[in-house]
Copies of this chain bind each other. A is one copy, B any other.
Amino acid sequence: MALIVQKFGGTSVGDLDRIRNVAARVKSEVDAGNQVAVVVSAMAGTTNQLVSWARDIGPMHDAREYDAIVATGEQVTVGLLAIALQNQGVDARSWLGWQIPIRTDDVHGAARIDSIDTTLMRARLASGQVAVVAGFQGIAPDGRVATLGRGGSDTSAVALAAALDADRCDIYTDVDGVYTTDPRIAPKAQKLERITFEEMLEMASLGAKVLQTRSVAMAMRHNVNLQVRSSFSDAPGTLVVNEDAIVEQEKISGIAYSPDEAKVTIQGLPDKPGIAAAIFGELADNHINVDMIVQSAASEGQRTDITFSLGRGDLDKALEIIGGNKEGLAFQGVDSKGDVTKISVVGTAMRSQPGVAKTMFETLAERGINIEVISTSEIKISVLIASDYTELAVRSLHSAFGLDSED
Q: How far is the CA of A72 from the CA of B75 in the complex (A)?
A: 7
Q: How far is the CA of A98 from the CA of B53 in the complex (A)?
A: 24
Could you mark each residue 79-100 of chain A with 1 if its beta carbon is under 8 Å from any beta carbon of chain B, else 0? 1101110110000011010110
**Contact present for B72 and A86 (CB under 8 Å):** no
Q: How far is the CA of A83 from the CA of B50 in the complex (A)?
A: 13
A288 within 8 A of B: no
Residues of chain A having any CB pair with chain B under 8 Å: 16, 19-20, 50, 53-54, 56-62, 64-66, 68-69, 71-72, 75-76, 78-80, 82-84, 86-87, 93-94, 96, 98-99, 143-145
Output the nearest chain B residue to A99 by Cβ-Cβ distance.
Answer: B143
Q: Which of B65, B76, B80 contacts A79 (CB 8 A)?
A: B65
**Contact present for B57 and A83 (CB under 8 Å):** yes
A82 partner residues in chain B, CB cutoff 8 A? 62, 65, 68
**Contact present for A57 and B80 (CB under 8 Å):** yes
Q: How far is the CA of A230 from the CA of B66 in the complex (A)?
A: 29
**Contact present for A60 and B83 (CB under 8 Å):** yes
**Contact present for B76 and A58 (CB under 8 Å):** no
A84 partner residues in chain B, CB cutoff 8 A? 57-58
Q: Which of B66, B75, B80, B145 contacts A53 (CB 8 A)?
A: B80
**Contact present for B75 and A58 (CB under 8 Å):** no
**A53, A56, A61, A83 — which one has the most chain B CB atoms within 10 A of its CB?**
A83
User: Known: A87-B59, A99-B143. Is A93-B72 also a contact (CB below 8 A)?
Assistant: no
A66 partner residues in chain B, CB cutoff 8 A? 79, 83
**Contact present for B16 and A56 (CB under 8 Å):** yes
Q: How far is the CA of A86 from the CA of B64 in the complex (A)?
A: 12
Q: Nearest-CB distance from A86 to chain B (Å)?
A: 5
A61 partner residues in chain B, CB cutoff 8 A? 83
**Contact present for A16 and B83 (CB under 8 Å):** no
**Contact present for B87 and A20 (CB under 8 Å):** no
User: Known: A60-B86, A83-B58, A98-B98. Is A53-B69 also a contact (CB below 8 A)?
Assistant: no
Output the nearest chain B residue to A49 by Cβ-Cβ distance.
Answer: B76
User: Known: A58-B84, A86-B60. Is A53-B76 also a contact (CB below 8 A)?
Assistant: yes
**A59, A62, A71, A79 — which one has the most chain B CB atoms within 10 A of its CB?**
A79
**Contact present for A54 and B83 (CB under 8 Å):** yes
Q: Nearest-CB distance from A44 to chain B (Å)?
A: 14
**Contact present for B96 and A83 (CB under 8 Å):** no
Q: Nearest-CB distance from A32 to chain B (Å)?
A: 22
A80 partner residues in chain B, CB cutoff 8 A? 53-54, 57, 65, 69
A20 partner residues in chain B, CB cutoff 8 A? 57-58
User: Known: A60-B86, A72-B72. Is A65-B53 also a contact (CB below 8 A)?
Assistant: no
Given A66-B83, A96-B145, 15 extra CB contacts under 8 A:
A16-B57, A19-B57, A20-B58, A53-B80, A54-B79, A57-B80, A57-B84, A58-B86, A59-B87, A65-B80, A65-B83, A65-B93, A68-B78, A69-B75, A71-B75
